[in-house]
Amino acid sequence: MDILQIAILGVVASILYIVLKDINKSFAFFLILITGIIIFLAVIHQISVIFQTIQTLGQKANIEGLYLETILKIIGIAYIAELGANLTKDAGLGSVAHYIELSGKIFILLLAVPIITAVIEAIISFLPSV
């Protein structure tokens, strides 16, 4: 499925949502949820290609696997949190969406701590001792 097909699917689903939301709000939300899943499944192959390319570049640049794995996890968390937050916003639960976004940020920070620590230690090692 290419971007044109995905865009058309999204526009058609949006139009159907607008028509159905006054008739049956739960069915309209279900339609948007299914559309999101279909789009996600359509791009999952491209996501795996991106991950493989990043891993290959990391190996060529002699970047430790831990750092590369952490970066990929951070990217995954960001996308998952955004998807969850957008779905809950569409359901009219803006406060839950904010909690999902906050949780995603906390998990990203938690994963970033070892990288931040390594960077600070590298900087300290370059500074002259007093």
Q: What is the pTM (predicted TM-score) of this model?
A: 0.70
Q: CA 84 to CA 107: how far, in whole Å?
A: 14
**Model pLDDT, residue 130:** 63
Domain positions in the chain are 1-62, 64-130
Going residue by residue through the chain, which has 130 residues, state the pLDDT in tens, using 9 for 90 and above. Answer: 788 999 999 999 999 999 998 999 888 889 988 998 898 888 888 888 887 888 788 788 777 777 888 888 898 899 899 989 988 888 889 999 999 999 999 999 999 998 888 889 888 888 887 6
Contact criterion met (CB below 8 Å) for 101 and 85? yes
Q: CA 78 to CA 76: how far, in whole Å?
A: 5
Element (H, E) at 112: helix 94-126
Contact criterion met (CB below 8 Å) for 32 and 90? yes
Q: CA 42 to CA 33: how far, in whole Å?
A: 14
**Model pLDDT, residue 109:** 94
Residue labelled with tokens 């990043």: 54
